[in-house]
C-alpha cells in the first residue's frame, strides 16, 4: 500500500509541470521551453532551456 501511495503522490506532483513561454523584451520574440512527457521525464531539458534564456535577458512571457 505504501508503494501505491508514493506512486500516486509522485504522479500528482510531476503532472503539474507545464510548458514555459519565454519572451525577448527587446524584440518581442517568444520561445516555448517544453516539459517533456508532462514533467515525468527526468532527462528533461526544460530547466536548462529556461535558465539559458534568462541568462540572455529573456523573461517569462506571462510575468509582468
Per-residue model confidence (pLDDT) at position 4: 52
Residue 6 pLDDT > 60: no
Residue 45 pLDDT more than 60? yes
53 pLDDT more than 90: yes
**Mean pLDDT, all residues of the chain:** 78
**Quick one: pLDDT at residue 2?**
62
pLDDT at 21: 95
SS3 48: helix
10 pLDDT above the threshold of 60: no
**Domain spans of the chain?**
2-60
Task: Quickly list DSSP for the chain.
Answer: -HHHHHHHHHHHHHTT---EEEE-TTT--EEEE--GGGGT-TT--HHHHHHHHHHTT-EETT--
Amino acid at each position: 500500500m505504501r508503494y501505491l501511495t508514493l506512486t500516486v503522490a509522485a504522479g500528482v506532483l510531476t503532472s503539474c509541470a507545464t510548458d514555459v513561454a519565454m519572451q525577448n523584451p527587446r524584440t518581442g520574440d517568444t520561445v516555448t521551453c517544453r516539459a517533456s512527457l508532462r514533467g515525468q521525464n527526468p532527462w528533461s531539458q526544460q530547466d536548462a532551456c529556461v535558465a539559458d534564456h534568462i541568462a540572455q535577458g529573456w523573461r517569462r512571457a506571462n510575468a509582468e
